[in-house]
Amino acid sequence: MTDMAYHLPVDQSGRGTSRCAGSLSRWVTLAMLATLSHAPAQAEDKPVYRCPGNLYTDALSAKEAHDKGCKTLDGAPITVIQSVAPKGGSGGKSSGGSSTGEKVSADDQKARDADRRKILEAELRKEEETLSSLQKEFNNGQPDRKGDERNFQKYQDRVNEMKAAITRKEADVAALKRELGNLGGASASK
């Protein structure tokens, strides 16, 4: 049995029988053992101290640790967990470059409201035009058949799609009118 990628002979378990593969695994094992054998020596060189306020450090000398009231941790495993910054109130809702908590002047707010009203009115006009063209094409539920709609089911599918599109547009127009109505009291002084 041979491994097609490397053309090395393999035994029944699927492992390579080449001397090169065995030599490589020995080198990896030796490298890991050498790395692990140095780790305890480094840990013994610098003791870890627990200082008041739940502060753990290895950056102090023995004298500094004693002066600050820190105690040496001997043989206790230490796990370091990186803290995650709190998500806070800056959820991307700051508008116009102002920072959170800053109030906008009355003139700036009026200008923003006027811009918002213009945008909503333009969007409402566009949606009403689209709705009008859809209703005209729908022809009160009897739209003209297209040349490729010899099959009645295709025609019915298109009619149903048109009904759904008209319903969506009517809901969009109603939502825009509602939004403009909500702005009505705020910008009626304009």
Q: What SS3 state is found at 170?
A: helix
What's residue 119's pLDDT? 94
What's residue 3's pLDDT? 46
The mean pLDDT value of the chain amounts to 76
Low pLDDT (below 70) residues in the chain? 1-45, 76-77, 88-101, 185-190
pLDDT in tens, 68-119: 898 887 776 677 777 787 776 554 444 455 456 678 899 999 999 999 999 9
Contact status, residue 154 vs residue 81, Cβ threshold 8 Å: no
What's residue 23's pLDDT? 58
What's residue 49's pLDDT? 82
Contact status, residue 166 vs residue 131, Cβ threshold 8 Å: yes
What's residue 190's pLDDT? 43
Q: Of the candidates 29, 27, 3, which has an alpha carbon nearest to the alpha carbon of residue 16? A: 3
**Which residues have CB under 8 Å from 169's CB, separation 6+?**
127, 130, 131, 134
